[in-house]
């Protein structure tokens, strides 16, 4: 599902709303419990004192089901690779297959181990004029996107995602490097977030 705010009002003058139409703009900061239903409640951070701090404001987090979806999909790949390696070694007797297979399986196992930690490190904050997104523990990344810069909000969900009722929300600006992808939102939360973002983006649209 894709919403392009651009098509609706191509000629909207580039105004910010603070001075001119404060009532027309929905307030993104308005607390909404749909976003926080069944999610994690604390952001996982690195322990070192030199980390990028959380700052103030409330962070919304991912739904708990996201971890299960990730674990299942990685686990399936793990089992397939394991079966292939076992087949090659036991049936054909090619023992060297353990070298690439072992490396691959090791990486997959490590991914499975850190997935729950990683999922807790995702967070997003709806501030007055921008959305702040953070992810990562070892490699931390924080991005702030002004609402007016959004070109597109994209929601995708695969079959497994649908089974667990979650979706992935992608936020597209004119810069490819922005790269804000929020995986694992509850479907209602994703839809509400999308509607909020589109409304706010429309009200604060600026040029490219």
Partner 1 sequence: MSDLPSPSQPADAPAAPVAQARVAAPKLSDGEWHRLHPLTPLFRGGLVLVVIAGIVIANLRDRLVFLFLPWLDDDIDIDVEVEEWRGGDPVDFIIANNLYLVAGLAVLGILLVLIGLFYLSWRFHTFRITGDDVEVRSGVLFRTHRRAPLDRVQGVNLTRPMFARLVGMAKLEVVGAGLDSNVKLEYLSTSNAEAVRADILRLASGRRLAEARADAATAPGGAGPTRRAAAASVVSAGINGLISGAEEPVGEPESVVHIPVGRLIASRLLSTSTLWLIAIIIAIIVGSIAGTPWVLFSLVPALIGFGAYWVRTITRSLRYSIAPTPSGVRITFGLFTTITEILPPGRVHAVEVSQSVLWRPAGWWEITVNRLSGRGLADGANDQFATVLPVGTRDDVERVLRLLMPDLPENEWPLVFEHGLLGPRPDDPYTNTPRRARVLRLLSWKRNGFLLLPDALLMRRGAIWRKLAIFPLARLQSIGIEQGPVDRALSVANIRAHTIAGRVYSRLGILDRDAALAAFEGIEAAALAAASRDHSHRWAGEAAVGEPFSPVPERNPLPERELPVPEPVEGSPAPGEPR
User: Which residues would be at the binding site for partner 1 (CB under 8 A)?
Assistant: 10-11, 14-16, 18, 46, 48-53, 129-130, 138-146, 148-149, 173-178, 180, 206-208
Closest contact distance (angstroms) between CB of 190 and partner 1 is 20
Nearer residue to partner 1 within complex by CB, 26 or 46: 46
Nearer residue to partner 1 within complex by CB, 23 or 176: 176
Residues 6+ apart with CB under 8 A from 94: 88
Residues 6+ apart with CB under 8 A from 96: none
Closest contact distance (angstroms) between CB of 19 and partner 1 is 9
Report the chain's terminal Cα–Cα distance, integer Å.
23
Closest contact distance (angstroms) between CB of 129 and partner 1 is 5
Nearer residue to partner 1 within complex by CB, 31 or 207: 207
Closest contact distance (angstroms) between CB of 180 and partner 1 is 8
Closest contact distance (angstroms) between CB of 134 and partner 1 is 9
Check if the beta carbon of residue 120 is closer than 8 Å to that of residue 134.
Answer: no
DSSP state of 92: S
Helix (H) or strand (E) holding 184: strand 180-186
**Residue written as token pair 């999610």:** 39
Nearer residue to partner 1 within complex by CB, 91 or 208: 208
Check if the beta carbon of residue 26 is closer than 8 Å to that of residue 203.
Answer: yes
Q: What order of strands is seen across the sheet that includes strand 166-172?
A: 2-3, 152-156, 166-172, 180-186
Nearer residue to partner 1 within complex by CB, 23 or 91: 23
């Amino acid at each position: 599902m894709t919403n392009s705010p651009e098509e609706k009002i191509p000629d909207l003058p580039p105004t910010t709303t603070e001075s001119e139409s404060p009532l027309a703009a929905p307030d993104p900061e308005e607390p909404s419990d749909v976003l926080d239903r069944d999610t994690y409640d604390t952001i996982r951070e690195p322990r070192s004192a030199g980390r990028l701090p959380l700052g103030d404001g409330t962070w919304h987090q991912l739904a708990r089901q996201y971890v299960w979806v990730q674990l299942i999909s990685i686990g399936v790949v793990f089992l397939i690779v394991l079966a292939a390696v076992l087949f090659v070694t036991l049936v054909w007797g090619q023992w060297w297959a353990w070298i690439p297979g072992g490396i691959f399986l090791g990486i997959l196992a490590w991914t499975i181990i850190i997935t729950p930690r990683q999922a807790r490190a995702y967070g997003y904050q709806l501030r007055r004029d921008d959305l702040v997104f953070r992810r990562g523990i070892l490699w931390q990344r924080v991005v702030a996107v002004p609402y007016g810069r959004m070109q597109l909000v994209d929601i995708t969900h695969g079959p497994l995602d649908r089974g667990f009722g979650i979706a992935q929300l992608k936020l597209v600006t004119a810069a490819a490097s922005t790269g804000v992808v929020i995986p694992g939102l509850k479907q209602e939360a994703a839809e509400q977030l999308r509607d909020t973002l589109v409304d706010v983006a429309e009200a604060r649209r600026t040029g490219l």
